[in-house]
Amino acid sequence: MDRLLVALVVAAAVVAVAVILQRRQTADPTPPQGPPAVPDRVDRADFDRPDAPWLVAVFSSRTCDSCAGVLERARPLASDQVVVCDVEVREQPELHRRYGIDAVPLTLVVDAAGDVRSSFAGPVTVTHLWAAVAEAREPGSTPPGCSGD
């Protein structure tokens, strides 16, 4: 009888340990995160051609496939009026820290004063990116359905 009782206690302990280990392995180690940080303002002197009226800054990482797509869609916006900057995290980590960028890609449309007029966290379509720049440059110019809202 004593042996049976000891065997049952040992079996219960083994089951309890197994359940605890199983819960630890299936628990999500990453706590849920809120939306990425987006600055309200930037110092235009931190970016190329600070005298250009408009800046499209793409905060990126060279290991991010989505970032490459966003940059591909943003680069054709470059003109005398619009400067497009790739702010790659390994090349410019100080700008990512200064502006609290904690996720990429993050795209900012910024005016001459450094005010962020529009932003996109994650991938962005050509339509939404180009419409955001058009709307920033000439308010009211974006057709319905193109604002990205």
User: What is the three-class DSSP state of 112?
Assistant: coil
Q: Is the pLDDT of residue 59 over 90?
A: yes
User: Where is pLDDT greater, at 37 or 32?
Assistant: 37
pTM above 0.95, yes or no: no
Question: Tokens 């990429």 identify what position?
Answer: 104
Packing angle, helices 65-74 and 126-137, rounded to 10: 50
Which parts of the chain are beta strand (E)? 54-60, 82-88, 106-111, 116-121
| Position 37 confidence tier, pLDDT thresholds 50, 70, 90 | confident
Q: What are phi and psi of 134, to 5 degrees?
A: -60, -45
List, for residues 110-127, the tens digit of each pLDDT value. Answer: 999 999 999 999 999 999
Average pLDDT value over all residues in the chain: 85
Across the range 95-121, mean pLDDT stands at 96
Q: Which CATH architecture has domain 44-137?
A: 3-Layer(aba) Sandwich (3.40)
